[in-house]
Amino acid sequence: QVQLVESGGGSVQAGGSLNLTCTASYIDSTNCMGWFRQVPGKEREGVAAIGPDGGGPFYADSVKGRFTISQDKGKNTMTLQMNSLKPDDTAMYYCAAGSDTLACVGPVVAGSSIDVSALDAWGQGTLVTVSS
């Protein structure tokens, strides 16, 4: 099973930028990979995803135009460049991968609930804090 480790979180002021990295033990091109976030007391939500064979990318409406997801199969990494950060972006950010594309992309584009068990692997999360 793929292992995922996130890095790059931190504290920034509103309007600032952060670049998150998800380092995978390997990248299976048949899998979907995505970024998700969660605030304590709220449901985890989809942020951005890359579909199988590089399909997409897909973004939640709340981050379109500000966040960019990319994947480097040579380095086994997936990144999330976050610009123009807002206090509402404060959350724990997780990367995930899995063969169930609907479970990966659905929460991003449709805001559907996330079935954590439907994705094969999750990282431990990296905290992003945006102050006003």
41-62 per-position pLDDT tens digit:
999 999 999 999 889 999 999 9
CA distance readout (Å), 27 to 49, 51, 73, 78: 14, 12, 6, 9
Q: Determine the Cα–Cα distance for residues 102 and 14; give it in Å rounded to an integer.
A: 32
What six digits make up the tokens of 116?
């954590």
Return the pLDDT at 113. 87
SS3 59: strand
Return the pLDDT at 54. 86
Q: Determine the Cα–Cα distance for residues 17 and 15; give it in Å rounded to an integer.
A: 7
Q: Is the pLDDT of residue 111 over 90?
A: no
Q: Where are the alpha helices (DSSP H) in the chain?
A: 101-109
Q: Determine the Cα–Cα distance for residues 14 and 30; give it in Å rounded to an integer.
A: 36
Q: Determine the Cα–Cα distance for residues 105 and 88; give it in Å rounded to an integer.
A: 21
Q: Determine the Cα–Cα distance for residues 84 and 13; give it in Å rounded to an integer.
A: 10
Q: Is the pLDDT of residue 6 over 90?
A: yes
CA distance readout (Å), 53 to 18, 73, 91: 26, 11, 29
The neighbour count for residue 92, using CB atoms within 10 Å, is 18
Return the pLDDT at 131. 98
Average of per-residue pLDDT across 18-25: 98
